[in-house]
Structure 1
């Protein structure tokens, strides 16, 4: 009988991390989930707690990471990922992207494991080109309010490539564009869960700026498929994974009102400093190297996401907090 592959997934109790745990268990692998629960939620992995191929460890990867036994793969997804989070805990955000990445690269080296790190479209900052391809170096304000996240991820990429080039470590880097689906926290300040929560409460949907800024949204199952293919590929440079279907935030808000049958109207607030005006991935590399492109259309993905949120309790649908997002 073939020995099962063993994978460590950090940020396992988060949105993407929990879906990745599901996928790797479905692939017949043994999964060690790790999370310090600073933004993650054990509810996201409650269905896995008794699974024979799943183990959970509560730990902050900014501290030394010790895993006994072999590891075949490491997926580093531990990090705050929304403006509300990384403006509330900026030091922790910087530490998980720097110290956490260093610890996990060291672990991968000692275990001779392949490591995939979760980077982000935020490395492109407020881009001056569209769509954003992997060879674009970005337009980032390192001392602005979003700099703690942007620069943590840019450092993470640099450290990862240094280990690849100097130590010959097998590394993969995924640049994740806006992703959505079940298990996203409703109060994390990101557009889609916020709009959905407000619509389900028949409250005014809050748009920052005039609503002409654009985003591209990828459904979580498509994102996970792209990440999985990248991990198993032999490509070590960054790869964008996202949906190039671009639309304005005003269009998104109107679409959610329609899909939820809400009585909500739309209101506008001042655009936060350094908020990107455009976000659209060029996915030529993903198509050519991974034979990947998104398949779930937005209407289908939103319907599944809205259905998930409708099943939450009224307490879960509490008023959103924009305090940190509005800080300058």
Structure 2
């Protein structure tokens, strides 16, 4: 029986007995995290878990993840899916589906390991593409906290030998005393990582702040010559004594490697010689390991695979030649039956070919060409080669017209039934992709104008065309029953842009960078304040350090309502400079990376890049205030303005509560909320706040008017239509607060619609959140995300990556 504590974080590691999985399990245990490891030992080894098994916090399930877990987890904070893509596709898919079912109950921080080879055509894995797509769908559907880590080849103790990286062959050859015979091309390089660096990366991707819904890359920042690796393996001790360092080569960045290094503060730390020596020492001291991993027969297996491919090739040639003989036999038969019959057959065949076969062949050719031209055009768009994109899309449009004409001909001949039924929908999907890419191009043209590359009056024309293209794509996707959420948000951004940067006149905006690692009640401490000046639709200049950051400025973020803070900043700016500004945009380091991607997007999907700033606003890593009331109204309607929730209106049979927890100095590690509604409608609240290994400094809690603190003394506040309590110098890692409400819940006609709104602190990370609602006997509870594991109790596990609201219907 597995005994797990509710008071310590729990991690699920699927593939725990594998090379990477076992190393991740060891690392998690070092952090004091409980680990539940799952592995069917088909490719993993139980010996890999020797270190982990010595810990009381490690629990191993020898089973296939295709089966549900035979254990009830009291909680789940982290979940890692580290199964090899070489597994059977059905087994992999089944394991992933059950893994996500477990995650659905708790919504932990999820990590999927993938391959860096997905960036290139060589070595693409359909299984991993499917897995990444499934994780993205789950993340969007459940608002889950997931990330994908794409890894280069990995080596180290307990390594396997699956893959084509030359370092794997060299290590294998060194361990089997065959290194001298191994040929090594001098121009080959590798970006393989040592296992300790990989385990460190996977943990940082989950334990480091707001990393949800992102892709990270794991690879050496600078490649290493394979020839030098061979020399090290021939005599690692000598190279260690000489303190050998690899030849410095030009950096080789993958699309997300720079982001990985900057956001996670990660880079490979292992020294090459030490890493290779440690790997070789393990393999030489475990002689049975290579054979058990399938490595001992590696060269023979490759030769056998080549022989099987040759046999398949010979069989295909044999079948082709048999087909030739069969055709010749049929022609001879026609010749024997006389010239008249032969001519009649040819005429019928010619008519059938002209009427059906030739149009069908032309349709198939054009149909394939549309997909190819569209994909090539999207690639050109990602490289900002818009001229080539437009040329390819015009060819795709022409091919689409040909296909539609052929489809109409088949319909008139009443032979349309011989064609696949999804051709029209496929054409619409490809057309929507082209419209989207054309819209992206128009936005990029507008951004170039803003940054000084054209006339200001061109902006509106580009944006109008962009909106028309996006509208066309949205219509086609909507007709197919697809999700238009991202396109809708982009269209809103397109409508918003000319209002903040008009094509005539002058605008000045203050850009505030605040430090999310030094939290204040209203956000992070201000680190810099710059002035962005626009004129006639163009960015004229950005003047850095345009204000003196005195104590008065630094104390501005002391209040939680950003519009109030922004107005103070604008007043201080005018008093210092004598100039008025039109608005304030504030962001932290988390948002800065995503916002910069708007202006430099090589090889990136524009919609998802533009979604980065939307995420930054939703997560309150970016907030904005505009003097123009129309623009400010838009920002507040989109929840971009950082305003505390306004007083919501209730109606009969509804109870709406509010909660916002704000800290200064020490961020929250976890929030626990328990609401109890009694039969008479009395509502009590228990709030448990946990820090991350440090005592709280200042804590401020805002609730619905009428909530009274009953277990501690605190400074009372009445701000923003809420009641607040402030605690100074708490001096503890945990703070437990109890409240009772003067306002009773109204069970009108035996029913109550209970809503809890929780507002996230500006600049704070993705704090884990647990919410429990206890309700009277005789009532049932219905909600989209909660689970009633105990009678009269509904539990939710979520986080504060953004504002949250819970809506529960209680009915007799």
- TM normalised by structure 2 equals 0.32
* Cα shift readout 1:306-327 (whole Å, capped 9, x = no counterpart): 22223223x4455442344453
The DSSP-based 3-state class of the residue aligned with 2:12 is strand
Question: Which of 29, 33, 42 matches 1:38?
Answer: 42
Unmatched runs of 5 consecutive residues or more in structure 1: 81-85, 87-91, 128-138, 141-145, 262-278
1:79 alignment partner in structure 2: 84
| Superposition pairs of residues 88-237 of structure 1, within 5 angstroms | 92-124=87-119, 127=120, 139=121, 150-185=125-160, 191-204=166-179, 210=185, 212-232=187-207, 233-235=209-211, 236-237=213-214
Distance 1:93 1:322 in 2: 22
Measure how far apart 1:216 and its partner are.
0.6
Measure how far apart 1:223 and its partner are.
1.3
Measure how far apart 1:73 and its partner are.
1.3
Q: Is residue 13 of structure 1 aligned with residue 17 of structure 2?
A: yes
Distance 2:218 2:58 in 1: 26
* Cα shift readout 1:41-98 (whole Å, capped 9, x = no counterpart): 0010023324210110011123344541221111001225xxxxx3xxxxx4323543
Structure 1 or 2: larger helix share?
A: 2
The answer to whether the 8 A contact 2:167-2:226 is kept is no
The answer to whether the 8 A contact 2:149-2:215 is kept is yes
Alignment length, in residue pairs? 280
* Cα shift readout 1:2-56 (whole Å, capped 9, x = no counterpart): 8110111011111111111111111111101110111100010023324210110
Question: Which of 258, 261, 271 matches 1:297?
Answer: 271
The answer to whether the 8 A contact 1:78-1:96 is kept is no
The answer to whether the 8 A contact 2:184-2:226 is kept is no
Distance 1:200 1:152 in 2: 31
Measure how far apart 1:198 and its partner are.
2.3
1:253 alignment partner in structure 2: 230
| Structure with more relative contact order (C-alpha pairs < 8 Å, separation 6 or more) | 1
1:322 alignment partner in structure 2: 299
Measure how far apart 1:227 and its partner are.
0.9
The DSSP-based 3-state class of the residue aligned with 2:299 is coil
Q: In 2 relative to 1, CA 209–157 (structure 1 residues): closer, same or farther, beyond 3 Å?
A: farther
Distance 1:297 1:248 in 2: 15
The answer to whether the 8 A contact 1:79-1:93 is kept is no
2:644 alignment partner in structure 1: none
Distance 1:320 1:290 in 2: 39
* Cα shift readout 1:89-115 (whole Å, capped 9, x = no counterpart): xxx432354332222122111222221
1:59 alignment partner in structure 2: 63
The DSSP-based 3-state class of the residue aligned with 1:322 is helix
1:242 alignment partner in structure 2: 219
The DSSP-based 3-state class of the residue aligned with 1:243 is coil
* Cα shift readout 1:226-257 (whole Å, capped 9, x = no counterpart): 11111123222111022122134344333322
The answer to whether the 8 A contact 1:6-1:73 is kept is yes
Question: Which of 263, 282, 290 matches 1:308?
Answer: 282
The answer to whether the 8 A contact 2:184-2:227 is kept is no
Structure with higher Rg: it is 2
The DSSP-based 3-state class of the residue aligned with 2:298 is coil
- TM normalised by structure 1 equals 0.76
Distance 2:72 2:157 in 1: 32
Aligned Cα root-mean-square deviation (Å): 2.8
Measure how far apart 1:300 and its partner are.
1.9
The answer to whether the 8 A contact 2:36-2:60 is kept is yes
Q: In 2 relative to 1, CA 64–325 (structure 1 residues): closer, same or farther, beyond 3 Å?
A: farther
1:267 alignment partner in structure 2: none
Distance 1:111 1:217 in 2: 34
Question: Which of 41, 50, 53 matches 1:49?
Answer: 53
Q: In 2 relative to 1, CA 74–208 (structure 1 residues): closer, same or farther, beyond 3 Å?
A: farther
Unmatched runs of 5 consecutive residues or more in structure 2: 239-251, 310-812
The answer to whether the 8 A contact 1:187-1:321 is kept is no
Distance 2:224 2:46 in 1: 33
